[in-house]
Amino acid sequence: MLRIGLLPQWLLVAAMSAVLLQPMGSEAQAAAPRHTVNLTNGSSIQGFTSTVRSRTVWSYLGIPYAKPPVGALRFKPSVPLDSPIGNSSMPYDASKKPQTCYYWPLLPQEFEKTNPALMMWWNNTEMSEDCLYLNVWSPTSDSAAGKAVMVWIYGGGFFGGSSSLEVYDGAVLAATGDVVVASMQYRTGALGFMFLDDTEAPGNAGLYDQYRAIQWIHENIRAFGGDNSQITLFGESAGAVSVSYHLLSPYTQGYFRRAILNSGSAIAWWASEDRSTGWSKSLALADLAKCRPDYTRDGIKIANCLRQVTPELLQQHTWNAMSNVFKARKQSYSRYYQQNLRRYQESGNSAAIANLETALFFDVPFKPVFGSDFLPKVPVEQLRDSKMNNDVKKADLLLGVVKDEGTFWIMYALGGIFMHKNGNWNIPFWWGQPLDQQLNRDYDFLVQNRTGLDMDKDPYNLVARYFIVNNTHLDSLVTEAVSFEYQVPSKLFGRTSWTAKETLDALDDLTSDRSFKCPTVDFAEMYAQMLGMNGSNSIWMYSFEQRSQMLPLPEWTGVLHGYELDYVFGTPFNQRFGPEFYNFTTSESQLSDDVMKFWTNFARTGNPNQFNSSSLSGEAWPAYNLSDRSYIVLKSRLSTASSFRIGQNLRKRQCDFLRYQVPNIVRQIGARYDCSSDRRSEPTMGPASSANALQGKLAFIILVAGLVQLSLL
């Protein structure tokens, strides 16, 4: 059975793919032809050249962009370097991938070691606190070439990830699109986002790292053949959230021109928290690390103590710092269960099954905090009021989602019921009804032995247990409305039979919309309102719907979160991936070519169209606007002469339901329980302000199975 302890390393990239990493060794890179770049501050950096798609690419890996954040600099914003790196007689060696910033867990599970589709997401370089390095891939050695620049920010739930992963290698993208590609390492977890004190641990250190790297790139990219007036930030999942924060932050707005958001934005419920919430988690972490023997609340004293704790132990305690969150969830669900006991029993469950524990809660342990210098305002409020305050960067914006964002989270949140001991993935059979006699016997055995994490016979019961995050809003009115809107099969709605796949699809839609699709769609909507009808900037939206045909996972997994990354970075053309494991089809390779050209055209011009290729030309992708909300469906074409499908109003009904109707229901709950100590009334919210509900009010999510049971050494 899958141990829940493996979940964080999947979240650390917030993506899953099916390619086998065959990394180029440092020996091969050292043997490649070398090239030296000289910076205006006297630095000399020596990279190497390689041939990619019949074109020479100059690579510079592991360039330091800030002082190592160790010792007294731990938890603090990164500090710029104060001296040159390398010199003309001894250039800095930029031929090796940089070290990875610490995250937890430190090692993969045995199950993962035998699955290359999982192992490819594990860090492939040593972990270290000395990790603030960046990479550059350039299609030219001419410092006057003035190529557009694309700066990649990886995802990972703000507690993991690495730019060193082979899937993020920028050489193919640089060669195909004739752009300079750069990426950086940044701190995550407690080391990157713990908030205690405005001077010693002000929070958002990981975002400051990104800012320092972007600033360094802006100042030095001309030496690598780039144009610092044509910088595009692009990222996926937490990386996309980060890119959107740079649109909001007064620190970074002047250092880039365009932005690409893959599956995420600043207004996602999991993307940020206020200072008091961050503070309480930091105190819990300090307790675990024995840095509060006198229960002090002195942030400076606590931070100084935590600087003496090893980074391994600090990251190891990260998830247990949420123990109070798990405890509150269990208490709230217990009250909800008691109020709805009869309904549970009527849906075919015994009281024992209905009262299974609900400490299956997904959240990001340490998030970016607003109310700080870097993020002064609540993101959704800043975006909503930006037309009046003019404090959000106006930029060309390309953004979108993948078809089945939620399946990834369901599989790994509830991994123990999806994965058999033989390593195969299956949908839980008891999610379908009716069960035959043999399945009923199997079901009873599972119940008696408690080998399943959740064996509700009616999917309706899953919604409250796993998909409503705000504890004060656990109420049957909300559960019924959400279940009905998302067509969760249930006897409550007159259903007597359904398949397990129907249940999975409904929960996938709910999770996809709540966590990724609607935060992305709503960000586009609010950004378009800010730009207005006559602005000089454009918005472009996509839905990625290609499931790679040779993927070694069941077809029911669909198009998982992160699947587009293979196509964005040109994995079908990366010779360091083993074709014996995963052969992309001709049409998939063509799709990757199309996606790379869309992305790099956008980086150069602000418009993904204008292909300079016989394979696709003209205005294939219409701009997004408030009149028709057009988007392109990125999926393999039948032939190079065929066009991509164009859709309109991506998930509009569902996102409007979450953005407007759910707050309406919450207000009714508040009125009904106005005098109850267990219920809180919601403030009145009209259309202009109800988007704030997406920030943290009534968030519907996948709850990570057994995070409180993480095996922390």
Domains of the chain: 27-105+119-273+368-403+519-648 (3.40.50.1820)
Q: Is the pLDDT of residue 12 over 50?
A: no
Which residue in 57, 63, 207, 203 sits closest to 138, CA to CA?
Answer: 57
Could you tell me how far CA 381 lies from the centroid of its own chain? 21
641 Cβ contact partners less than 8 Å away, ≥ 6 residues apart: none
Look at residue 280 in the predicted model and tell me its pLDDT.
92
How many Å apart are CA 253 and CA 242, to the nearest integer? 13
Beta-bridge partners for 102:
none
How many Å apart are CA 221 and CA 37, to the nearest integer? 10
Look at residue 544 in the predicted model and tell me its pLDDT.
98
Q: Is the pLDDT of residue 703 over 60?
A: no
Q: Is the pLDDT of residue 593 over 70?
A: yes
C-alpha distances in Å from residue 673, one per residue of 437, 676, 682: 44, 5, 11
Mean of per-residue pLDDT scores for the chain? 83
How many Å apart are CA 656 and CA 30, to the nearest integer? 54
Tens digit of each residue's pLDDT (9 = 90 or more) over 333-373: 778 877 777 666 665 555 444 455 554 446 789 999 999 99
Q: How many CA atoms lie within 13 A of 74 on its CB side?
A: 22
Beta-bridge partners for 195:
202
Active site residue 561: yes
Beta-bridge partners for 250:
none
- High-pLDDT (> 70) share of the chain, %: 77
Q: What is the mean pLDDT of residues 43-53?
A: 97
Q: What is the mean pLDDT of residues 493-497?
A: 90
Which residue in 342, 345, 340 sits closest to 457, CA to CA?
Answer: 345
Q: Do 556 and 418 contact (CB within 8 A), yes or no?
A: no
Write the secondary structure of 443-483 as one string of H (helix), E (strand) and C (coil).
HHHHHHHCCCCCCCCCCHHHHHHHHCCCHHHCCHHHHHHHH
Q: Is the pLDDT of residue 522 over 80?
A: yes
Lowest mean pLDDT among 22-36, 510-524, 555-569: 22-36
Composition of the chain by helix, strand, coil, percent to 5: 40, 15, 45
Q: Do 671 and 486 contact (CB within 8 A), yes or no?
A: no
Q: Do 592 and 565 contact (CB within 8 A), yes or no?
A: no
Amino acid symbol at 247: L
Pairing state of beta strands 180-184 and 147-153?
parallel
How many Å apart are CA 315 and CA 299, to the nearest integer? 19
Look at residue 269 in the predicted model and tell me its pLDDT.
92
Q: Do 620 and 250 contact (CB within 8 A), yes or no?
A: no
- Name the catalytic one among 561, 564, 592, 636: 561
Look at residue 531 in the predicted model and tell me its pLDDT.
94
192 Cβ contact partners less than 8 Å away, ≥ 6 residues apart: 101, 158, 159, 186, 205, 206, 209, 366
Q: Is the pLDDT of residue 217 over 90?
A: yes
Q: What is the mean pLDDT of residues 537-557?
A: 90
C-alpha distances in Å from residue 500, one per residue of 414, 455, 457: 15, 12, 11
Structure tokens at 242: 């980060």
Q: Is the pLDDT of residue 438 over 60?
A: no
How many Å apart are CA 621 and CA 634, to the nearest integer? 10
Which is higher by pLDDT, 685 or 408? 408
Amino acid symbol at 182: A
Q: Is the pLDDT of residue 421 over 80?
A: no
How many Å apart are CA 600 and CA 373, to the nearest integer? 32
Q: Is the pLDDT of residue 684 over 60?
A: no
Look at residue 26 in the predicted model and tell me its pLDDT.
41
Q: Is the pLDDT of residue 445 over 60?
A: no
Beta-bridge partners for 36:
46
**434 preceded by a cis bond (ω within 30 of 0):** yes
pLDDT band at 437, cuts 50/70/90? low
Look at residue 704 in the predicted model and tell me its pLDDT.
31
Q: Do 405 and 555 contact (CB within 8 A), yes or no?
A: no
Structure tokens at 619: 């205005």
Q: Is the pLDDT of residue 615 over 80?
A: no
Q: What is the mean pLDDT of residues 456-468?
A: 79
Look at residue 702 in the predicted model and tell me its pLDDT.
30
pLDDT band at 699, cuts 50/70/90? very low
Query: Exposed, middle or buried by CB within 10 Å (0-12, 13-18, 19+), for 619?
Result: exposed
| Phi, psi angles (nearest 5°) of residue 677 | -75, -15
pLDDT band at 320, cuts 50/70/90? confident
Tens digit of each residue's pLDDT (9 = 90 or more) over 124-183: 899 999 999 999 999 999 999 999 999 999 999 999 999 999 999 999 999 999 999 999
How many Å apart are CA 8 and CA 312, to the nearest integer? 15
Q: Do 34 and 46 contact (CB within 8 A), yes or no?
A: yes
Structure tokens at 437: 């006699």
Pairing state of beta strands 34-38 and 44-52?
antiparallel
How many Å apart are CA 493 and CA 484, to the nearest integer? 8
How many Å apart are CA 198 and CA 363, to the nearest integer? 24
Following DSSP, what letter does each residue of 128-155 receive, concatenated? Answer: -S---EEEEEES-S-TT--EEEEEEE--
Look at residue 567 in the predicted model and tell me its pLDDT.
96
Structure tokens at 482: 């959400």
Q: How many CA atoms lie within 13 A of 320 on its CB side?
A: 16
State in Å, rounded, how far the first CA of the chain is from the last one.
20
Look at residue 626 in the predicted model and tell me its pLDDT.
95
Lowest mean pLDDT among 157-161, 326-330, 523-527, 690-694: 690-694
- High-pLDDT (> 90) share of the chain, %: 59
Q: What is the mean pLDDT of residues 603-631?
A: 82
pLDDT band at 637, cuts 50/70/90? confident
C-alpha distances in Å from residue 684, one per residue of 145, 659, 663: 55, 14, 9
The pTM assigned to this predicted structure is: 0.88
Host H or E run for residue 82 = none
- Name the catalytic one among 43, 95, 164, 237: 237
Structure tokens at 496: 């007597």
Q: Is the pLDDT of residue 573 over 90?
A: yes
Look at residue 418 in the predicted model and tell me its pLDDT.
76
54-58, 360-364, 703-707: range with highest mean pLDDT: 54-58
Host H or E run for residue 601 = helix 586-605
User: What is the maximum span of the chain, computed from C-alpha positions, in angstroms?
Assistant: 80
Q: Is the pLDDT of residue 638 over 90?
A: no
Beta-bridge partners for 258:
232, 396
Active site residue 317: no
Look at residue 7 in the predicted model and tell me its pLDDT.
39
Q: Do 620 and 613 contact (CB within 8 A), yes or no?
A: no
pLDDT band at 554, cuts 50/70/90? confident
Q: What is the mean pLDDT of residues 216-229?
A: 98
Look at residue 705 in the predicted model and tell me its pLDDT.
31
- Name the catalytic one among 405, 545, 564, 588: 405
Q: What angle do CA 425, 429, 433 make, to 5 degrees?
A: 150
Which is higher by pLDDT, 590 or 315? 590
Which residue in 331, 340, 335, 325 sits closest to 456, CA to CA?
Answer: 340
Q: Is the pLDDT of residue 701 over 50?
A: no
Structure tokens at 663: 């707050």
How many Å apart are CA 439 and CA 640, to the nearest integer? 48
